[in-house]
């Protein structure tokens, strides 16, 4: 029930139906459907701008063997890109020496990139094929031979494990906060990074363990209603469909999956827009989520193309959009929402059906209890909240940018640790074998360097996981709350535009028409005019009753939405609890990694006499 808010929720296309939306449709074009500020390619803040050959487009006009597709599918995450560590695992099964692998990475992956797209991935595999045939590994040589490329050999590709599982020892490092609700966390969204839940184990010294560990949330720690809501909450995930459609202009399809409904449907961006238009028409006084923009056009005189970064932000924005709807106590029960999540062909459904677009209040019964539940000081409460929204939105936008910058820097450091490990391995290959045949100390140095390389690679993997966790959980949850703030502000704006009543005007017109009607009583041949005035008066009274009903229902809606908004404070607490737990977990993993390396580097000889 909507009245029980414990059971509630907790990144243009022309709409066509048999019923026009244009006449009294709320102005959806005036809404800022994207709460996402325009950030073009944040990347690593300290990196210089790239230039030169566009690596990703070198093989765009070449028909490549199936091995390219299968390798990319296995290694890529839901954002359609491959991490440096995953690419490194692919290259390691090629049988090439470390020096060749390092050279391939340097050629195919720009230095400021932490992930590669399909084009860059294909270039890396093509360079592998050249190296396996003892051909020169260079972009120039690749361009020269791109029409007659050999096929790369990747042995045991299917057996490569891309779920980073760095087991150190002993006990689990993550404090057991909230484990019982991990799968049904109402604010959690699927990570979208293609990795399973990674379990690390470390032996943590007592001085590094948190002194206070939060107990798990169980049925005993929350009310029965709230616990049942946690169990019933749906989780919507969205990923890119593998193939684009369209004859001249290719468009992206999205695979939308509902966990609770166990459904999977394919949708276009225009379908999301259609759903949003319908919801704005039906629920103008409810909090409606922000829809991310379809594309980026000209901004301050500069034209920005739609790249992988923008598409990934849009995918995550669409995910937040649908998860918001399926958690809202009213929107989640809407028939069109159910159709959107279950109907296989939404275009076919729209062709054969006319959606019900009547405003919500028309079919609602306004009871005295409903009116009595609305607090007398509702306007004062709403005013206090509204006056704080602009500042809160600005702060959350800034915090989202800062959190993303921190995660991108960590992602960049992870890639640098990976590259350093590769460079060290290449050096080891060259340094093996001292000019003194029986030099024991040189072999010990080489062995120590091998251990350093291994642990640098582990460090990169841990830091990459930490960055991904921040980007896919903490950052997305910050954006979700930012979207909530923006959406609530837009709800106030719709109210100011649409909640205009004409009750006083209608009452005046009724009095005027009644005054005209009185002298006509009993007048011969005045029946047509009497009937006309009577009908007008009756229609005006009906309109007044509808407007009064709408006015009461509007206040009821705003009280319900204000309560929902207020409960979001619990979400903020959970957000930072999870963030702190993640920081503890990954910090402990890094500590244990360096700790296990320490005795190995101290076994390396430092006495100069031993190198005589």
pLDDT of 486-535, one tens digit each? 999 999 999 999 887 888 888 888 888 888 888 887 777 788 888 888 88
The fraction of the chain above a pLDDT of 70, given in percent, is 77
Helix/strand/coil for 236? strand
User: Residue 44: left (phi > 0), alpha (psi -120 to 50), or beta?
Assistant: beta
Sheet with 253-258, strands from edge to edge, namely 236-240, 253-258, 263-268
Task: Output the pLDDT for position 440.
Answer: 80
Give the length of the chain: 612
**What is the per-residue burial (b if ≥16 Cβ within 10 Å, else e) of 102-112?**
bbbbebbbbee
Q: Give domain status of residue 525, yes or no.
A: yes
Q: What is the Cα–Cα distance from 406 to 463, expressed in whole angstroms?
A: 12
Q: How far apart are the first and last CA of the chain?
A: 84
pLDDT tens per residue across span 319-336: 999 999 999 999 999 999
Q: Give domain status of residue 544, yes or no.
A: yes
Q: Give domain status of residue 500, yes or no.
A: yes
pLDDT tens per residue across span 341-367: 999 999 999 999 999 899 888 888 888
Mean pLDDT score, 167-176: 36
Q: What is the Cα–Cα distance from 432 to 435, expressed in whole angstroms?
A: 10
Task: Output the pLDDT for position 308.
Answer: 77
Q: What is the Cα–Cα distance from 544 to 403, expressed in whole angstroms?
A: 51
- Rounded to the nearest integer, the mean pLDDT of the chain is 79
Mean pLDDT score, 465-483: 94
Contacts of 185 (CB under 8 A, 6+ apart): 178, 574
- Six token digits for residue 112: 């400021």
Task: Output the pLDDT for position 86.
Answer: 87
- Six token digits for residue 370: 């409903």
Q: Give domain status of residue 247, yes or no.
A: no
pLDDT tens per residue across span 53-110: 788 888 888 888 899 888 888 888 767 788 888 888 888 888 899 888 988 988 888 8
Q: Give domain status of residue 232, yes or no.
A: no
Q: What is the Cα–Cα distance from 207 to 45, expressed in whole angstroms?
A: 34
Which residue range forms the structural domain that includes residue 543?
A: 364-612
> What does each C-alpha distance from 427 to 99, 220, 415, 451, 511 come to in angstroms?
8, 59, 18, 13, 96
Q: Is pLDDT of 205 > 50?
A: no
Q: Which of 283, 229, 281 is nearest to 556 (CA)?
A: 283
Contacts of 172 (CB under 8 A, 6+ apart): 199, 200, 201
- The answer to whether 82 touches 415, Cβ cutoff 8 Å, is no
Helix/strand/coil for 195? coil
Task: Output the pLDDT for position 582.
Answer: 95
* Lowest-confidence region among 218-227, 536-545, 571-580: 218-227
Q: What is the CATH number of the domain that holds 152?
A: 1.10.238.10
Task: Output the pLDDT for position 250.
Answer: 67
The CA-based angle 447-449-454, given to 5 degrees, is: 100
Q: What is the CATH number of the domain that holds 583?
A: 1.20.1270.60
Q: Is pLDDT of 239 > 70?
A: yes
CA 41 to chain centre: 16
Last residue of a domain, one of 121, 144, 162: 162
Q: CB atoms < 10 A from the CB of 141, how many?
A: 14
Last residue of a domain, one of 122, 137, 162: 162
The CA-based angle 190-193-194, given to 5 degrees, is: 95
Task: Read off the pLDDT band of 248 (50, 70, 90).
Answer: low
- The answer to whether 286 touches 325, Cβ cutoff 8 Å, is no
Q: Give domain status of residue 11, yes or no.
A: no
Q: Which of 208, 75, 61, 86 is nearest to 146 (CA)?
A: 61
The top-scoring range by mean pLDDT among 71-80, 278-287, 565-574 is 278-287
Contacts of 557 (CB under 8 A, 6+ apart): 285, 286, 360
Q: What is the Cα–Cα distance from 268 to 460, expressed in whole angstroms?
A: 37
Task: Output the pLDDT for position 256.
Answer: 95
Last residue of a domain, one of 162, 184, 217: 162
101 exposed, middle or buried (CB, 10 Å; 0-12, 13-18, 19+)? buried
The CA-based angle 526-532-533, given to 5 degrees, is: 90
Q: Is pLDDT of 5 > 60?
A: no
Q: Is pLDDT of 469 > 80?
A: yes
The CA-based angle 326-331-333, given to 5 degrees, is: 80
Task: Report the sign of the C-alpha dihedral through residues 61, 69, 155, 452, in that order.
Answer: positive
pLDDT tens per residue across span 107-160: 888 877 888 888 899 999 999 999 999 999 999 989 988 888 899 999 888 888
H or E element, residue 371 = helix 368-372
> What does each C-alpha distance from 454 to 165, 169, 393, 418, 522 come to in angstroms?
14, 17, 44, 10, 105
Task: Output the pLDDT for position 9.
Answer: 46
Helix/strand/coil for 234? coil
Q: Is pLDDT of 228 > 90?
A: no
Q: Is pLDDT of 23 > 80?
A: no
Q: Give domain status of residue 117, yes or no.
A: yes
> What does each C-alpha distance from 313 to 256, 377, 476, 575 come to in angstroms?
16, 40, 10, 20
Q: To the nearest 10°, the Cα dihedral for 301, 251, 73, 126?
A: -60
Q: Give domain status of residue 378, yes or no.
A: yes
Between 425 and 295, name the one with better pLDDT: 425
User: Residue 301: left (phi > 0), alpha (psi -120 to 50), or beta?
Assistant: left
- The answer to whether 346 touches 267, Cβ cutoff 8 Å, is yes
Task: Read off the pLDDT band of 577 (50, 70, 90).
Answer: very high
Number of structural domains, the chain?
A: 2
Q: To the nearest 10°, the Cα dihedral for 298, 300, 302, 307?
A: -60
Task: Output the pLDDT for position 293.
Answer: 87
- Six token digits for residue 478: 């910050």
């Amino acid at each position: 029930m909507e009245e029980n808010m414990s059971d509630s929720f907790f990144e243009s296309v022309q709409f066509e139906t048999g019923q026009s939306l244009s006449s009294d449709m709320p102005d959806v074009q005036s809404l800022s459907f994207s709460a996402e500020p325009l950030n073009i390619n944040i990347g690593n803040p300290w990196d210089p701008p790239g230039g030169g050959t566009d690596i990703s487009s070198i093989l765009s006009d070449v028909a490549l063997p199936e091995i390219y597709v299968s390798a990319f599918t296995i290694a890529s995450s839901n954002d359609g890109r491959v991490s440096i560590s995953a690419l490194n695992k692919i290259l390691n099964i090629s049988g090439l020496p470390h020096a060749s692998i390092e050279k391939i990475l340097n050629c195919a992956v720009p230095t400021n990139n932490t992930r590669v797209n399909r084009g860059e991935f294909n270039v890396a595999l093509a360079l592998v094929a050249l190296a396996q045939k003892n051909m020169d590994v260079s972009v120039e040589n690749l361009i020269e031979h791109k029409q007659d490329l050999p096929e790369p050999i990747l042995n045991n590709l299917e057996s490569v494990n891309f779920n980073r599982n760095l087991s150190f020892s002993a006990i689990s490092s993550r404090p057991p906060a909230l484990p019982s609700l991990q799968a049904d966390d109402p604010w959690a969204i699927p990570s979208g990074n293609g990795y399973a839940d990674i379990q690390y184990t470390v032996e943590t010294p007592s001085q590094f363990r948190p002194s206070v560990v939060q107990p798990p949330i169980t049925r005993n720690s929350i009310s029965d209603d709230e616990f049942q809501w946690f169990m019933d909450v749906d989780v919507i995930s969205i990923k890119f469909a593998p193939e684009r459609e369209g004859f001249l202009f290719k468009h992206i399809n999205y695979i939308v999956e509902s966990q609770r409904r166990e459904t999977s449907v394919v949708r276009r961006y225009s379908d999301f827009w259609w759903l949003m238009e319908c919801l704005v028409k039906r629920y103008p006084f409810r909090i409606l989520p922000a829809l991310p923009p379809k594309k980026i056009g000209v901004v301050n005189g500069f034209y920005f193309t739609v790249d992988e970064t923008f598409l990934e932000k849009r995918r995550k924005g669409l995910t937040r959009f649908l998860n918001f709807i399926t958690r809202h106590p009213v929107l989640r029960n809407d028939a069109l929402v159910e159709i959107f999540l279950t109907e296989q062909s939404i275009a076919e459904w729209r062709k054969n059906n006319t959606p019900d677009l009547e405003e919500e209040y028309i079919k609602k019964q306004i009871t005295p209890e409903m009116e009595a539940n609305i607090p007398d000081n509702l306007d004062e409460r709403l005013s206090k909240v509204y006056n704080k929204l602009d500042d809160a939105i600005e702060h959350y936008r800034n915090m989202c940018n800062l959190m993303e910058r921190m995660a991108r820097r960590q992602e960049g450091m992870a890639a640098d640790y990976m590259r350093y490990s590769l460079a060290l391995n290449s050096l080891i290959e060259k340094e093996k074998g001292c000019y003194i045949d029986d030099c024991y100390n040189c072999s010990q140095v080489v062995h120590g360097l091998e251990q350093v390389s291994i642990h640098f690679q582990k460090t990169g993997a841990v830091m990459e996981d930490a960055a991904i966790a921040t980007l896919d959980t903490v950052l997305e949850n910050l954006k979700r709350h930012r979207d909530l703030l923006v959406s609530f502000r837009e709800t106030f704006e719709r109210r100011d535009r649409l909640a205009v009543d004409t009750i006083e005007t209608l009452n005046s017109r009724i009095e005027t028409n009644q005054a005209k009607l009185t002298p006509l009583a009993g007048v011969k041949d005045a029946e047509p005019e009497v009937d006309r005035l009577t009908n007008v008066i009756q229609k005006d009274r009906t309109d007044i009753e509808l407007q009064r009903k709408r006015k009461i229902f509007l206040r009821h809606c705003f009280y319900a939405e204000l309560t929902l908004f207020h409960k979001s404070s619990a979400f903020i607490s959970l957000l930072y609890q999870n963030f702190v737990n993640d920081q503890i977990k990954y910090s402990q993993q890094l500590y244990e990694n360096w700790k296990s390396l320490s005795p190995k580097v101290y076994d390396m000889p430092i006495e100069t006499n031993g190198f005589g």
